[in-house]
Amino acid sequence: MTSFPDLLRSWISQNAGDLASDGVQAILTEGPQDRDRRAVWADFDSANRLARLTVWDTGEAVLALADAAAENPPVTQQLEFASSTDLERAVASAVAWVAE
């Protein structure tokens, strides 16, 4: 079975340096280990935009996108991952939003 939290952790570990050189900070936070569903979330921040991708080991995920200068609330999308490709698409969306 694919561990989506582990995939996200690995992606951040491999790409955080490249993102930083592009002006995007990526921070991974681990959820409590004593929960029925394990989760991690990645915050992607730039000067003007923010994104948070929360991923559970069940394949459920939430992507939240916000513009720091706008007064609008964050836009959130509920996602369901079936494969690592789905996770990679969500990460790419988050990074594209923040880097724009």
How many residues appear in the chain?
A: 100
The confidence score (pLDDT) of residue 1 equals: 61
Tell me 68's DSSP state. Answer: T
The SS3 call for residue 50 is strand
Q: What pLDDT digit, counting tens, does each position of 82-99 carry?
A: 999 999 999 999 999 999
Note the pTM of the prediction, 2 decimals: 0.92
The SS3 call for residue 17 is helix
Question: What's the CA gap between 38 and 70, in Å, rounded?
Answer: 32
12-21, 28-37, 67-76: range with lowest mean pLDDT: 28-37
Domain ranges, ordered by start, for the chain: 4-99
Task: Name the average pLDDT for the chain.
Answer: 93
Question: What's the CA gap between 72 and 74, in Å, rounded?
Answer: 6
The confidence score (pLDDT) of residue 100 equals: 83
pLDDT band at 44 (very low <50, low <70, confident <90, very high): very high
